Amino acid sequence: MAETTRIQQAGFRDLIADRTVRLIMICSLVNSVGFFSMMPFLALYLADITSLPLAVIGAFTGSIALVGAVGALAGGVITDRAGAGSLLRVGFATYTLLGAALAVVTTPVVVLPLIVCLGGALMLVGPSLKKLMSLAAGEGGGLVFRMRFMTLSVGAALGPLLGAAAYSVSHRALFGVSAVLFALCLVLVHVRQGVLRALDVRSEAPRKERWLWTRSLRDGRFRLVLVAAVLITLVFAQFESMIPLYLEGEAGDNAPTLFAVVFAVHAVLGFVYQWPAEWLARRASMPAQAGFGCIGFAVSFVCWGASEGRLWVLLAGVLAWTVGEAILMPMADLITHRIAPDTEKGAFFGALEIRYLGFFAGPILGGALLGDGTWAYFGVMAVISFAAWPVLRSRSLLPGTQS
């Protein structure tokens, strides 16, 4: 196994000094920029080119997560058998082709299926990238998933700004930019495929056990992690799906620019907050951490509901939101890294992508509630923000416990 698997309890500087970890993090960063340069604007794009109701628009933007959730379990098992590096190349190639197609085609009857197909790339890239990260970090790998979240935050800061600039020039340019970035990821992974192959652990067990693909779902601890993750993502999905539509009603034509600024501030804070989140993780129990995160989400919905488009109130909500995000979003990955066997990490991380059902259901629920009024939406979502907390309080999820 590669040298990186011997790193235990290493700091940020130690991990990033390792060439394999650095390669994976660069791919994560570029992929994040490509994804976030188009994803926050999909709802606005579909509202511009179609006359679909908000709930239906939410369903199509959420369908990316639905396909990723349904297919990632199979994608993870294939990752364990065929190799994470190979699946990662296929995933980035799929992203590139779909982005290029969306940059060319404008007919809604074609655009809508292409958007749904983005979930196919998601189901390949997610499990394979996370398996490589987990293997690279070894037993002390919790920090590498906070590093991953930091790359997502940086990408989420740059992506919407890049997307807003492209969107102001041409709606189709939005997808062209993403296609170029995904192609860059493909080149990076292809050039360094030997390094990734040396790191990878392939499982022979799928050929010996018929129902291996369901083993992760038969793990009691993992089922709790999955339930909590779905509930967290259902709440988290509101930020990039319904909040832009809410701002469009409040700010009109200025909504894309306003949301890009809000999203960029949130992303920068998400990066910075990882240090306080790591400090809190060393001093507080997981249930206490989860409680702080849920409070952050709930407070943000109250702020946004009272904002009336005022930037300072929106940013106050972003401050609270990012506390919840920094604590809760990496939590499922951290626990899964700890409980999953090396040879089945692809299957476990693939099964974890079922949490994207929350990203599918979230925009549908949000669209229906927002259609009934501002406070019907923000009030209900503030309550739902606490749904994952009872699950994350389970003693079986604490370090050192067994299923």
Tens digits of per-residue pLDDT, 45-92? 888 888 788 778 878 887 887 787 778 778 888 888 888 888 899 999
Average pLDDT of the segment spanning 349-374: 81
- Position 6 scores a pLDDT of 38
Beta strands in 295-336 (DSSP E): none
Q: How far apart are CA 287 and CA 55, in angstroms?
A: 34
pLDDT value at residue 154: 80
Higher pLDDT among residues 255 and 272, named by residue:
272
Non-local CB neighbours of 121 within 8 Å, separated by 6+ positions: 91, 92, 94, 95, 98
**Mean pLDDT to the nearest integer, 161-180:** 87
- What mean pLDDT do residues 272-292 have? 81
> What does the pLDDT look like over 101-147, one tens digit per residue?
998 888 888 888 898 899 888 888 988 898 888 887 766 656 778 88
Share of the chain above pLDDT 70, in %: 87
Residue ranges per structural domain of the chain = 12-202+215-393
- pLDDT at position 231 is 93
Copy the structure tokens of residue 236: 């988290």
At residue 335's C-alpha, the angle toward residues 333 and 336, to 5°, is: 65
Helix (H) or strand (E) holding 129: helix 108-137
CB 312 within 8 A of CB 259: no
pTM, whole model, 2 decimals?
A: 0.75
Helix, strand or coil, per DSSP, at residue 346: helix
Rounded CA separation 381/355 (Å): 18
Q: If you average pLDDT over residues 323-349, what whole number do you get?
A: 85
pLDDT range class, residue 7, cuts 50, 70, 90: very low
Q: Which of 60, 35, 39, 37 is nearest to 50 (CA)?
A: 60
The SS3 of residue 105 is: coil
C-alpha angle 216/221/225, rounded to 5°?
85
* % the chain with pLDDT above 90: 17
pLDDT exceeds 60 at position 268: yes
pLDDT over threshold 60, residue 373: yes
CATH of 12-202+215-393, one of 3.30.565.10, 3.10.20.600, 1.20.1250.20, 3.30.470.20: 1.20.1250.20
Which residue would you say has higher pLDDT here, 81 or 381? Answer: 381
Mean of per-residue pLDDT scores for the chain = 81
Specify the pLDDT at position 96: 95
- Give the distance, in angstroms, between the CA of residue 4 and the centroid of all CA atoms in the same chain: 24
pLDDT tens figures, 382-402: 999 999 998 988 877 766 555
pLDDT number for residue 383: 92
DSSP letters spanning 163-208:
HHHHHHH-TTHHHHHHHHHHHHHHHHHHHTHHHHHHH-----GGGT
